[in-house]
Every structure is written in structure tokens, then in C-alpha cells.
Amino acid sequence: MNKVPFVSKDQLEDICQQYPTPFHLYDEKGIRQTARDLYKAFSWNKGFKEYFAVKATPNPTILKILHEEGCGTDCSSLTELMMSEKCGITGEEIMFSSNDTPANEFKKAKELGAIINLDDITHIDFLEKEAGIPETICCRYNPGGKFELGTDIMDNPGDAKYGMTPSQIKEAYVRLKELGAKKFGIHAFLASNTVSNEYYPELARILFKLVVEIKEETGIELSFINLSGGVGIPYTPDKEPNNIFVIGEGVHKAFDEILVPAGLGNIKIFTELGRFMLAPNGCLVTRVIHEKHIHKEYIGVDACAANLMRPAIYGAYHHITVMGKENEPCDHIYDVTGSLCENSDKFAIDRKLPKIDIGDLLVIHDTGAHGFSMGYNYNGRLRSSEILLKEDGTTKMIRRAETPEDYFRTLDGFWD
């Protein structure tokens, strides 16, 4: 099975005439359609809102496109808050979900009117002292143990550093109300990159039942429930992608069964689907510059782990298309490598691909989220440009490639 790039070989060759490889390429049409499908899937909830995780793709042009489609931002740092503000995204269109948070970041979030999502019960006193308690506040929940779907263990929240225990979160709401908070929300992230239509509905059931408990035990009625991220994508071509309409209806069913009978039918549902929204709508484009024949067959490209580090640090699979050879047999086995002085700098290991020649263009799929954003400068390698493929087929550079001058600029006086 193969993944089909959202751009043709001829298109890509034309783009490469203008922008040298490597670069990350984003599909505006796909981004907008994904956002519209998400909103349609949750249209049954009047207050539904997607808070796009800025950390997934921290580019102002992407944030503005998503904002035009109704999305806010999920921020976790000062710079992400600043980027949102610069894009015209402020107030309760920002969800500030941070941990081990410095005082100046709480202050900036409060200044912008963002919804602050507290990671720990001890942060209540810290926030009160440093910035004051806002009228709207959210708390992050961690049930502990293992999260399972059927017989499959999906993740291990008990080992995660995030969130409050069940007893702590109830105590937190009581304390926050005493300090003047008037609107409350809950947030939880129990599993990463699930390729299952059952994850969100199951998470929703857990949170919905807890929200009913909170009302019964404390008298506090929550205003919104943030299901966070975790709805993933199939990086391998053999898996079926999540169906956001099935997922939305599954959450709807749980909502009607648990919250509506408890008199909580007006609660808003929020999501933070960075990977789902952007990963399939971006790719890393790189050109083959070397081949090596030793104990294994190696293909060397002009990108490296500085451009996409997920395969190097996680062993993550990213599908590769050799442009123009999509219909040729995958009868060669290669390691596809970058130029870092690290043996883990490989985009693929023992991958079956068509015969590859120097000069071929490779599309590395599903890099639209956690691709460019995780880049770094090891070996003095420079981060690539980011290019937007617009709906009309034209392109726009939305971030230029780094230069040596950029790399040296923070070395005071060195480059002067």
C-alpha cells in the first residue's frame, strides 16, 4: 500500500526551482478541509471549539488559516502566547496548558485573558500570588494507572508528570471558587496518537462521569470539558485513518447518556488536535545527493534529523514516496540517511523502495505536525524553510531557511 502525496512531481519540481530543498511543504486546502470536517463532526455541541496545539506547527500563517476556520490556540509557553497575540488570537480563544510554569508566563496568559489550565493543585497559590485568580479557570486531570481500550493498553497516565489526582482536582475547584473563580473547566490527555475511533468517546465518558461527581460532591458545575489531543493519524499506509465523524458521534452519544440526564447539557466541548489537524497536511521534501554501497545500501539526502527528528529519537515511521516512481516495484532495500554525525540520523531503515537515483526527489509524509517544530541545530545544521501550497496552486514561503548568520547571532560579538 502507498500514501499519495498532495502534490505532483511536476508541481514539486516547479516549487524546487524557487525554493531549494530541503523544505517543509503545507497544504492549505487540506488544512482548511480538516478543520471544517472537525467542526461539522462536533456541530451538535453549541460551544464546541478547537484549540490548535501551537507546539505542533508554530507558524503564524498556519495559525491564521486555522483561526479563519474558527480555531483558537493551545499554548504552553511565553513565545507561543506571544505568537498567538501577534496573530490576533487573544482572550478565551487561547488555552494556556503549561506545566512547571514560570511566573511570567502565568502573568502573560492572565494579561491576554487566556483560559489558564492548571497542571497541579499547588499552582493555585502560586497563580494567586503571581498573577491573581481569573474568573475562568481550568484544571488538568490525571486518573493514574493504565488507560485501556478493550484488551489494549493505550498509554500509562500513572507515569505521566501531568495533571491532578481525582481527590486533588475536586479540592482544587472548591479552593478556586473560594478565591473568586466563577467558570470552571476540566482537561485530560490520557493517550498519544491513537488510531482508534473509540479513544475520544472513552475519554469523554471518563471525564463526563467525573464532572457529574464533581457537581454532586461540591455543587460546582463545570462550563467546559477539554478532551485535549490524542486523536492521531496512521503513519503507516496499512492502517485506516480515524473517522472524525464517527468520533464526534461517539462523544455525542456519551454526552447524551451521562451529562444531559445530570442537568449538564450546556457544557461546551473543546479539543486540541494538533497532530490530527496538521500532520497529514504537511511533508518534508528532500533531494537525493549521495548513494553508498557498503555493508548496507544507503541513500543520502539533503535533509537530516535537524529537519525531522522523530525517526531518530522515537524510531518513528514516516512513509517515503520517490516522486515519479510511485508505480515502480519496491524491490530495493535502503537506509535513507541524513548528514548528522549520529548513526540514528536515518529517515528509514531497511525500507523497501523503488530504485533510487541521485537527483530524485523524496517526499517524507506526515510531517505537518511535530516536524519543523522539533528542529534543532546540532552539528551547526540549519533549519529549513516552510512553504505553503495555497488553494489556488501557487506557493508562498511562510518561513525562510536559517542562515549561518542566524546561527551565530546569539554569540555576542562573534559575527560583528
pTM: 0.95
pLDDT in tens, 351-403: 999 999 999 999 999 999 999 999 999 999 999 999 999 999 999 999 999 99
Residue 119 has pLDDT above 60, yes or no: yes
Q: Quick one: cell of 344?
A: 540514528
Question: Which region among 158-162, 199-203, 243-247, 333-337 has the lowest average model confidence (pLDDT)?
Answer: 158-162
Can you tell me the mean pLDDT for 4-13?
A: 96
SS3 for 80? helix
Report cis status (omega within 30 of 0) of the bond before 22.
yes
From residue 399, alpha-carbon distances to 237, 287, 373 in Å are 29, 20, 12
Can you tell me the mean pLDDT for 123-152?
A: 90
pLDDT in tens, 296-341: 999 999 999 999 999 999 999 999 999 999 999 999 999 999 999 9
Predicted confidence at residue 80, as pLDDT, reads 98
Closest CA to 56 of 32, 74, 71: 74
Can you tell me the mean pLDDT for 396-411?
A: 95
Whether 373 and 46 have beta carbons less than 8 Å apart is answered as no
Residue 416 has pLDDT above 80, yes or no: no
pLDDT in tens, 145-198: 888 776 566 677 878 889 999 999 999 999 999 999 999 999 999 888 999 999
> Distance between CA 364 and CA 369 in Å, rounded?
13
Type of residue at 249: E
Burial of 257 (0-12, 13-18, 19+ CB in 10 A): exposed
Measured from the Cβ of residue 409, the count of other Cβ atoms closer than 10 Å reads 12
Q: Which residue has the cell 494567586?
A: 128
Report the percentage of the chain scoring pLDDT > 90: 93
Whether 270 and 357 have beta carbons less than 8 Å apart is answered as no
> Distance between CA 112 and CA 18 in Å, rounded?
39
Q: Return the active site residues.
A: 341
The helix (H) or strand (E) run that includes residue 357 is: none
> Distance between CA 388 and CA 400 in Å, rounded?
12
Determine phi and psi for 292, rounding to 5 degrees. Answer: -140, 135
Predicted confidence at residue 2, as pLDDT, reads 86
Helix axes 78-86, 103-112, angle to 10 degrees: 20
Q: Quick one: cell of 185?
A: 473547566
Burial of 62 (0-12, 13-18, 19+ CB in 10 A): buried
> Distance between CA 222 and CA 214 in Å, rounded?
8
pLDDT in tens, 15-37: 999 999 999 999 999 999 999 99
Predicted confidence at residue 160, as pLDDT, reads 82
If pLDDT is split at 50, 70 and 90, which confidence band does 58 have?
A: very high
Whether 175 and 244 have beta carbons less than 8 Å apart is answered as no
Predicted confidence at residue 154, as pLDDT, reads 65
SS3 for 226? strand
Predicted confidence at residue 413, as pLDDT, reads 80
If pLDDT is split at 50, 70 and 90, which confidence band does 415 have?
A: confident
Which string of DSSP letters, residue by residue, matches 156-184?
-GGG-S-SB-HHHHHHHHHHHHHTT--EE
> Distance between CA 273 and CA 27 in Å, rounded?
17
**Domains in the chain, CATH or no CATH each:** 28-279 (3.20.20.10), 280-408 (2.40.37.10)
DSSP state of 87: T
Which string of DSSP letters, residue by residue, matches 2-35?
-PPPSS-HHHHHHHHHHSPSSEEEEEHHHHHHHH
If pLDDT is split at 50, 70 and 90, which confidence band does 285 have?
A: very high
Closest CA to 277 of 63, 6, 22, 10: 63
- Mean pLDDT of the chain, nearest integer: 96
